[in-house]
């Protein structure tokens, strides 16, 4: 297919790539992991222990991380577990952790990210909010440590668990351990195919009564992926402040 035709079809919201359906796996040990055990299950240790967070000032720079939607969804769903796909410096995770604390919930938030940046982070090396914020050392991003420091500065080490892995591999890990989440926040790529694949992968991890939601509705790729996914799976799209939310059709 000519590149210009493919580009035009994608702009119209057509999905041209065949989607990979994730194979469900039997949970390890025939039981689901308790959310409070996820730090040990993922890392084998507490990653915050011995980390000198005071060496890095708190910096929760990001986009939409302080939205009131986080608190409203935490209050409405009262999830035992939140999975965040794409977290950057942790602003949205901290907002959800703050909301859970206010509600007296013991919610665990697992943040899936490679901490390598998205495609647009590599388009302008003078961009202080993206490329330079990766804090590359010898060519490799160090922003993961900024995330850890931010969590520590806000006192949420017992709630927020980092999961440094690509979203597809992390989804398989969650499935293999029988993990289900009450809230799943999709905020990684802005490219249509990648967003759609995250939706396909993570919908299988949603607990009964849970909700999938996300950011960046104004990005054409995100909007096309969410719209196509909702149509394919019979879901309705609603909005909570600046976030889109998927729910079963009435």
Residue 30 falls within a domain, yes or no? yes
Across the beta sheet with 181-186, the strand order is 160-164, 108-113, 81-85, 181-186, 206-214, 243-248, 235-240
Residue 13 lies in a domain: no
DSSP 217: T
Identify the domain containing residue 41 by its residue range: 25-116+143-248
| Tens-digit pLDDT profile for residues 11-40 | 554 555 545 555 545 554 456 789 999 999
**What are the tokens at 231?**
């149509």
User: Looking at the 3D structure of the chain, how many domains does it have?
Assistant: 1
Q: What is the pTM of this model?
A: 0.87
Residue 118 · residue 186 · CB < 8 Å:
no
DSSP annotation of 79 = -
Q: Please check whether residue 215 is in contact with residue 66, taking contact to mean a CB–CB distance below 8 angstroms.
A: no
Share of the chain above pLDDT 90, in %: 74
Distance CA 201, CA 21 (A): 7
On whether residue 124 sits in a domain, the answer given is no
Q: What is the mean pLDDT of the chain?
A: 89
CA 132 – CA 124 distance, rounded (Å): 9
Asked if the structure places residue 4 within a domain, the reply is no
Element holding 230 (H helix, E strand): helix 220-232
Which CATH number fits the domain that encloses residue 196? Answer: 3.40.50.150
* 84 domain-assigned: yes
151 located within any domain: yes
Name which of 46, 61, 95 is nearest 75 in CA terms.
Answer: 95
Question: 90 - beta bridge partners?
Answer: none
Phi, psi of 240 (to 5 degrees): -120, 100
Report how far residue 65's alpha carbon sits from residue 53's, in angstroms, rounded to the nearest whole number: 21
Q: Of the candidates 242, 243, 101, which has an alpha carbon nearest to the alpha carbon of residue 185?
A: 243
Residue 122 lies in a domain: no
Q: Is residue 153 part of a domain?
A: yes
The pLDDT, as a whole number, for residue 19 is: 54
Whole-angstrom distance, CA of residue 187 vs CA of residue 86: 5
Q: Give the pLDDT confidence of 36-60 residue by residue, as tens digits.
A: 999 999 999 999 999 999 999 999 9
């Amino acid at each position: 297919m000519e590149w210009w035709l493919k580009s035009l079809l994608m702009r119209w919201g057509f999905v041209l790539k065949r989607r990979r359906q994730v194979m469900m796996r039997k949970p390890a040990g025939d039981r689901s992991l308790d959310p409070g055990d996820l730090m040990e299950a993922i890392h084998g240790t507490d990653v915050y222990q011995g980390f000198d967070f005071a060496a890095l000032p708190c910096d929760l720079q990001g986009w939409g991380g302080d939205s009131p939607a986080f608190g409203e969804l935490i209050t409405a769903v009262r999830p035992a577990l939140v999975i965040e796909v794409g977290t950057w410096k942790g602003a949205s995770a901290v907002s959800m952790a703050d909301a859970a604390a206010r509600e007296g919930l013991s919610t665990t938030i697992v943040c899936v990210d490679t901490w390598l940046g998205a495609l647009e982070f590599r388009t302008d090396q003078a961009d202080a909010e993206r490329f330079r914020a990766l804090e590359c050392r010898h060519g490799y991003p160090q922003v993961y440590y900024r995330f850890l420091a931010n969590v520590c500065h806000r006192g949420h080490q017992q709630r927020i668990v980092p999961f440094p892995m690509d979203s597809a591999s992390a989804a398989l890990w969650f499935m293999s351990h029988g993990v289900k989440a009450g809230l799943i926040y999709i905020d990684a790529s802005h490219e249509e195919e990648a967003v759609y694949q995250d939706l396909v992968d993570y919908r299988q991890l949603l607990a009964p009564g849970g909700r999938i939601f996300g950011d960046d509705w104004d990005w054409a790729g995100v909007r096309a992926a969410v719209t196509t996914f909702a149509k394919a799976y019979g879901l309705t799209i609603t909005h909570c402040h600046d976030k889109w939310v998927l729910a079963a059709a009435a």
